[in-house]
Amino acid sequence: MEPSPENLLQNLNTHFVGRHIIYYHSLPSTMEVAREAGWRGAAEGTVVIAEEQTAGRGRRQRSWLSPQGGIALSLILRPAVQHLPQMIMLASLAVTSAIETATDLKAGIKWPNDVLIRGRKVCGILIENQLRGGILEFTVVGIGINVNMDPSAYPEISEIATSLSAELGHQVSRSELVKALLVELERLYLDIRAGQSLYQRWRERLVILGQEVQVIEGGQVEQGVAEDVDGDGSLLLRCSDGSLTRIVVGDVTLRPLL
């Protein structure tokens, strides 16, 4: 079933997330449409969703493949500034919970924002904060999930990516998955606004802690053990010389054992 507004609003158990849906069959980027809607004053909880993205992107302006059969959506939120570090925790936790609710598949998080199943990427997340005069106006949470697609049909990602249908051996209802995701996004967002921290729940989902990793940060390469994460989401890397390095942003890959 397609995640059209009519299908999504039917039995959607949320108060504000997803109550206003901007739907497209195909468009270049849900992030761009959500950003424009946000600047026009769209209500918090507005969701932009597309059957297909033709110019989706991930972190650091990388392209993100979003063929038909997946989920590409962007959510407009208006969080307090002190809650910004938890937005990536919010999104990745909501995705892992929604996947488990809809499919029973166990999903984990690779720092900082990739969702994995059996070590392969099934979801990418992008957070953009929109400022005016140094003041936060709104945040756009972009989520792309590989649902009903065959990764082997895309050689550029077939070695590192998977999809829910590939893992299960059958198709997944995208509407039901999106509804589960919207419910989780609202629930966790309300937890944050009520003063709760998502840190411990997010930390428990991380799949790299205690692992030998390589981190690329600003052109620099660091290697060591992913020892822990800070409350603000930063990675604590124990280097071979025993020093502890705090990584705020970067790309992590697991190092193969020699």
pLDDT of residue 62: 54
**Which distant-in-sequence residues (6+ apart) come within 8 Å of 171 by Cβ?**
148, 165
Specify the pLDDT at position 242.
Answer: 92
> Each residue of 52-64: pLDDT tens digit?
888 655 444 455 5
Which pair of structure tokens corresponds to residue 163?
């999809």
pLDDT of residue 1: 59
Tell me which of 38-42, 161-165, 175-179, 213-217 is least confident.
213-217
Domain boundaries, the chain: 5-204, 208-254
Cα angle 148, 94, 43 (rounded to 5 degrees) comes to: 100
Q: What percent of the chain has pLDDT over 70?
A: 93
Q: What is the pLDDT of residues 112-135, one digit of tens each?
A: 889 999 999 999 999 999 999 999
5-204: CATH, from 3.40.47.10, 3.40.570.10, 3.40.50.300, 3.30.930.10: 3.30.930.10
d(CA 80, CA 146): 31
Burial of 198 (0-12, 13-18, 19+ CB in 10 A): buried
Q: State the Cα–Cα distance between residues 256 and 254, nearest whole angstrom.
A: 6
Contact yes or no for 49/3 (Cβ under 8 A): yes
Q: How far apart are CA 57 and CA 86, in angstroms?
A: 21
pLDDT tens for residues 231-252? 999 999 999 899 999 999 888 8
Average pLDDT over residues 17-21: 96
Mean pLDDT score, 47-55: 87
The pLDDT of residue 204 is: 96
CATH C-level class of 208-254 = mainly beta
